[in-house]
Amino acid sequence: MTNAFRTHSGEFHTTRWSIVIGAQGHSAADVNASVESLYRQYLSPLYAYVRRRGYSPHDAQDLTHDFFSRLLEKGWLSSAQPDRGRLRTFLLMAMKRFLANEWDRAKAEKRGGGSQLVSLQSEEGERLFSANAAASSTVPDELQFDRNWAMVLMQTTLDHLRREYERSTRPGDFAVLKSCLTAERGGIDYPVIARELQLLPASARSLVHRFRRRFREIFRAEVAGTVSSPEEVEDEMRALILTLGQR
């Protein structure tokens, strides 16, 4: 994308659904970059979910790897049509089914280590799992999966925003502006930010405002990529954010 600050939804948000559908019939070995992105984004919550179901780290790693391989190879996705609903729900359902029916058979067929990609993501997933375990053991597994999913989407959003700033003429602004995301509107000290960023105070206000707005735009676009119709975006956003508020 050429302009770091313009939203062309088509530019950065290739819908996850289109990745899912486009990946059908490919083996995990020759997954293209877009499928890889699907792995990266959604493996950690799935991994953490599997761990929460009582599997060892090693098994969880194998399991998530196999899950994705099956997902791609076995045509589970032939029915992954755009009217399929939320990707989050779809993946969790598929994983549950896999755990119930497929895993034992798969394990019997072969025992192989996960790919490097999977081990990378399982590190992240392991971190999620242990953090979840420490913070709230009473939370149902499904809710925890949704929570993790929401956090991963927000992380993706922040990463996206960070890269936009890396490409801008003021790359240093990101770290300072990031801290304004969770501040109360009235609680942002613009003069301090202006000094830190070498800006006029009026301009600092404007930049903070734009930064917050940009976060919302990207997050929204990310969510939009995981639902099958534009009407579902709002609902999905609400649902995700609600999961974070429940204890």
Partner 1 sequence: MNEAAGKGGSVEAAGGAVAECPRCGAPLAGGVVDGLCARCLGALNFDTFTRIGGAADEEPHAVPTVEELSEFFPQLDVLSLIGRGGMGVVYKARQKSLHRHVALKLLAPERAGDPMFARRFASEARSLAALNHPHIVGVHDFGEAGGYFYLLMEFVDGVNLRQLIESRQLSAEEALEIIAPVCDALQAAHDRGIVHRDVKPENLLIDRNGTVKIADFGIARMMDEPAVEGGLQAVSDYAAMPTLAVGTPDYAAPEQRVSAPCDHRVDIYSLGVVLYEIITGQRPGSGQITPPSRRAVVDMRIDEILLKALQEEPDLRFRTVAEFRERLEEVQEQIGRKSPDQERRTWWARKRPLAVVTFAGLMAAVVAAALVIKGQPNHEGGPPSSEMSEEPLLEMESLEKAYQAFEENFAALQEARGIQIVGMPDGGNAPREQPEVVKKLEARDRQLRATILRMSKGRD
List the interface residues with partner 1, window 68-127 (CB under 8 A).
120, 124, 127
Among the listed ranges 23-31, 64-72, 79-87, 128-136, the one in contact with partner 1 (CB under 8 A) is: 128-136
Subset of 149-208 contacting partner 1 (CB under 8 A): 150-152, 154-156, 158-160, 162-163, 165, 167-170, 173, 178-179, 181-184, 187, 194, 197-207
- Cβ-based neighbours of 136, under 8 Å, separated by 6 or more: 144, 247
* Dihedral in degrees, nearest 10, Cα atoms 60, 66, 70, 73: 150
Q: What is the closest distance, in whole angstroms, from the C-beta atom of residue 104 to partner 1 in the complex?
A: 31
Among 78, 104, 135, 189, binds partner 1 (CB under 8 A): 135
2/27 with CB nearer partner 1: 2
Residue 134 vs residues 19, 95, 129, 131, 137: alpha-carbon distances, Å: 34, 24, 9, 5, 7
E strand map for 109-186: none
The closest alpha carbon to 98, from 124, 128, 59, belongs to 59
> What does the alpha-carbon distance between residue 219 and residue 214 come to, in Å, rounded to a whole number?
8
Token pair 């954010």 is found at 241
**Residue 60 binds to partner 1 (criterion: CB under 8 A):** no
Residue whose CB is less far from partner 1, 67 or 149: 149
Identity of the amino acid at 6: R
Query: Binding mask 35-54 vs partner 1 (x if CB under 8 A, - otherwise)?
Result: -xx--xx--x----------
Burial class of 63 by CB neighbour count within 10 A (0 to 12, 13 to 18, 19+): buried
Q: Does 143 bind partner 1 (CB under 8 A)?
A: no
Closer of 8 and 58 to partner 1 (Cβ): 8
Residue 233 interacts with partner 1 (CB under 8 A): yes or no? no
15 binds partner 1 (CB under 8 A): no
Kindly state whether residue 23 participates in binding partner 1, applying the rule CB under 8 A: no
